[in-house]
Amino acid sequence: MKLEQIYNNKDLTISFEVFPPKADEEKLLEELKIIKKYQPAFVSLTCGAGGKGNKSFDLISKINDIGFDVMPHFTCISSSFESVEEGIKAIEYLGVDKILALRGDIPEDITLRKYDFNYANELVKFINEKTKLSVGVAGYPEGHIESADLNSDILYLKNKVETGADAIFTQLFFDNLKFYNFLERVGKEGIKVPVVAGIMPVISKKQVKKMTALARITLPKKFKAAVEKYDGSELVKFGIDYATEQCLDLIKNNQNKLHFYTLNKSYSVSKILDNIRS
Ligand code: FAD
């Protein structure tokens, strides 16, 4: 189902993000089978950094075969028009009807302007010209790490939507107020497509360290203190409780579109969904 149809209602709509595992695809498929009962609208499948598009065609089909609709992510930085056209058409040929169009992080060894695509809005336009895929894009409640400020980042986001994006998927956040502020500013800019909240349950200190090094993500006091205090299963439990509170607050504020960064694990997401549905 296309993104515009998926989000064309006020019901709680969830989706799960996974990444292609380095080794054990079967393990990922088993984890997905466990969370199938929560009836996600789709599973989104990331692609590696470095701008090589998304060539996980086998995995897309396997996820499809166990009963999930799939939204592959697709990065364009350092790719040619030809390779992107080939990639997106191959994805469409698999029977997929939606894609997340991304620029991708700039690889260290190239200069941005040497290639055919500079920014994600160019990819959105290209996908719309070449395919019938519905197109999601990334949004950053606290501003993208390269942007001067949130305002300019939202103007570029508007550009992506005006070019033809059908939905916005946000980077994870731990402070819902940042998300509500983002929604308000997005609304003021006249951006009308659905904005889907990115939720990531914390499972390790290393994960928090990595995320905050790569992106602008505020850690609220309570969150920071818990990450310092807890480890192992205690931290996993805190992560579940914290994400549950975030989701309940979002739902209370009529934000029913939730995208879970699963990290290829079913445990925390299952607990959160059990909590919010009980
Ligand atoms: P853009 O929208 O192009 O924005 C990039 C930067 O350029 C921003 O600072 C923006 O403000 C600025 N900008 C945009 N347009 C212009 C313009 N015309 N002129 C000047 N400045 C401009 N990465 C992966 O490698 N694989 C994934 O699977 C993946 N999945 C993701 C999923 C989600 C939901 C999110 C939020 C991010 C994901 N990323 C992924 C990370 C993403 O690739 C990086 O954040 C990347 O640096 C920016 O991609 P973008 O599509 O947001 O870029």
Structure tokens at 130: 């070449």
pLDDT at 115: 82
In the prediction, which pLDDT does 192 show? 97
CATH number of 3-277: 3.20.20.220
The dihedral region occupied by 38, where left means phi > 0, alpha psi between -120 and 50, and beta the remainder, is: alpha
Report the alpha-carbon distance of residue 91 to residue 87 in Å, rounded: 6
> What confidence score (pLDDT) does residue 65 get?
97
| Ligand 1 binding pocket includes 47 (Cβ within 6 Å) | yes
Residues 3-40: tens digit of each pLDDT: 999 999 999 999 999 999 998 999 999 999 999 999 99
Residue with tokens 């292609």: 20
Q: Is 123 near ligand 1, meaning CB less than 6 Å away? A: no
Distance 143 CA to ligand 1 centre (A): 10
pTM of the model: 0.97
CB of 71 closer than 6 angstroms to any ligand 1 atom: no
Instruction: Give me the mean pLDDT over the 138-157 stretch.
Output: 97
Q: Residue 278: pLDDT band by 50, 70, 90 thresholds?
A: confident
User: Which of 17, 31, 122, 142 does the annotation list as catalytic?
Assistant: 17
Q: In angstroms, rounded to a whole number, what is the distance separating the alpha carbons of residues 207 and 201?
A: 10
167 alpha carbon – ligand 1 mean position (Å): 14
Using the predicted structure, report yes or no on whether residue 186 has a pLDDT greater than 90. Answer: yes
What is the average per-residue pLDDT within 253-266? Answer: 98
Q: pLDDT tier at 51 (50, 70, 90 boundaries)?
A: low
- Residue among 84, 102, 117, 262 whose CB has most ligand 1 atoms within 8 A, to mutate: 102
User: pLDDT value at position 106?
Assistant: 84
Q: Using a pLDDT cut of 90, give the percent of the chain over it.
A: 90
DSSP the chain: --HHHHTSSSS-EEEEEE---SS-HHHHHHHHHHHGGG--SEEEE---TTT-----HHHHHHHHHTT--EEEEEE-TT--HHHHHHHHHHHHHTT--EEEEE--PPPTTS-GGGSS--SHHHHHHHHHHH---EEEEEE-TT--TTSS-HHHHHHHHHHHHHTT--EEEEEE-S-HHHHHHHHHHHHHTT--S-EEEEE-----HHHHHHHHHHS-----HHHHHHHHH--HHHHHHHHHHHHHHHHHHHHHTT--EEEEE-TT-SHHHHHHHHHHH-
Rounded to an integer, what distance in angstroms lies between the CA atom of residue 239 and that of residue 235? 6
Distance 237 CA to ligand 1 centre (A): 31
Give the end-to-end CA distance of the chain in Å, rounded to a whole number: 28
CA of 91 to the centre of ligand 1 (A): 21
Ligand 1 atom at shortest distance from the alpha carbon of 138:
36
Q: Which atom of ligand 1 is nearest to the CA of 172?
A: 36
| Range scoring the smallest mean pLDDT among 153-162, 187-196, 205-214 | 205-214
Q: What is the pLDDT of residue 111?
A: 58
- CA 29 – ligand 1 centroid, Å: 28
211-242 pLDDT per residue, tens: 999 999 999 999 999 999 999 999 999 999 99
In which band, very low, low, confident or very high, does the pLDDT at 78 lie, cut at 50, 70 and 90?
A: confident
Catalytic site residue 17? yes
Q: What is the mean pLDDT of residues 62-70?
A: 97
Is any ligand 1 atom within 6 A of the Cβ of residue 163? Answer: no
Residues 108-142: tens digit of each pLDDT: 775 555 689 999 999 999 999 999 999 999 999 99
**Domain ranges (residues) in the chain:** 3-277
The pLDDT, as a whole number, for residue 230 is 97
